[in-house]
Amino acid sequence: MNKINKLKIIKNQALTDEIHLLSLKVSDPLEAKPGQFFLLKMNERYDPLLGRPLSIFDLEGDKISFLFRVKGKGTKILSKLSLGEEIQITGPFGRWYPFPQGEFAVIAGGIGIASVFYLIKKFPERAYLFYGARNLSEILFYEELKNLCKEVFISTECGRGEYKGVVTETFREKGLKLNLPIYACGPMIMIKELRKILEENQSNLQCFVAVEERMACGLGACLGCVIETTEGFKRVCTEGPVFKIDELKL
C-alpha cells in the first residue's frame, strides 16, 4: 500500500561527482519489492512542486536507501540535504521485477544499478551481473556485488575494467549463452541494443526491463509518463516501470 512517510536522513554521501547515496531511517515497517520506486519530495516549498521518482536501492531493517545521479533541480536539492533533516517519501509505486525462480542474468547500465541492486541482494548467489559504466570510478559497490553475485562482468567505455565497450556487447559475448532470464535497467539506448541482440539471436529468453520515463503524479492520473507498447500506451508509474522487453515499442 502507498504511504506518505516523513523520514530522517541518516546518510547523504557523494560517491562520485554526480552520484549520491541517500539513506533514511524507517520508523514504521516498510514493505517494498525490487523494481518499485518512491516519490521523494525535496522540501516543504512548492519548488519543485513534484516529488522525484527514485528506485529502491536497498531496504533492510530500519533503513531505506536510494542511489541517484544529480540531473537537475530536484536531485541537486536532494544531494545537498543534511543529516537529521526530514524528507517526505511516498510509495512504494509500480510493478516489481517478477521474482526469479533460479539463476538469472542482470544487465545494469550506469545508474541503472540503482534499480537492480535490491533484486540481486534479495536473491544472493544467483545473479550473473553485467555492469557497465563510462569509467571505472562509476562502477559502484563492486565488492558487495562480487559477494552477492555468482559472477560479475565489468565493462567500461574508457577501456579500464575487464571488458572495453558497452555492457550489451559483453552480454552478447558472455551472457547470451548462459540461457537465463534477464533483468535489465539502464538508458533507453541500452534497452534498444539489448532488444536488437535478442532479436538477432532469435532468443526467446524472458527479459524484464525497468524504464525510467519522466513522471509527474506517480498515481496513474496525469498520463505524463506514458510509453508505447504492443498493447497501446501504458503508464510507466502504474503499469511499469518493469515491462517485458518484447512488449515495448522501441
DSSP reduced 3-state for 139: coil
d(CA 105, CA 199): 17
Minimum gap (Å) between residue 223 Cβ and ligand FAD: 14
Picked from ligand FAD, ligand FES, none, the partner binding residue 222 (CB below 5 to 8 A depending on kind) is ligand FES
Q: Which three cell numbers, joined as nine digits, stand for 16?
A: 562520485
Does 55 help bind ligand FAD (rule: CB under 6 A)? yes
CB atoms under 10 Å from CB of 206, counted, come to 15
Residue pair 131/145 in contact (Cβ under 8 Å)? The answer is yes
DSSP reduced 3-state for 141: coil
Of 178, 224, 246, 250, the one binding ligand FES by CB under 6 A:
224
Does 35 help bind ligand FAD (rule: CB under 6 A)? no
Question: Quick one: how far is CA 144 from the chain centroid?
Answer: 17
Does 218 help bind ligand FES (rule: CB under 6 A)? yes
Of 64, 70, 184, 215, the one binding ligand FES by CB under 6 A:
215
Residue pair 118/58 in contact (Cβ under 8 Å)? The answer is yes
Site string for ligand FAD, 84-113 (x = CB under 6 A): ---------------------------x--
d(CA 60, CA 225): 29
Chain residues that interact with ligand FES, rule: CB under 6 A: 215-218, 220-225, 235, 237
Chain residues that interact with ligand FAD, rule: CB under 6 A: 37, 48, 52-55, 66-69, 71-75, 111, 114-115, 212-215, 236, 241
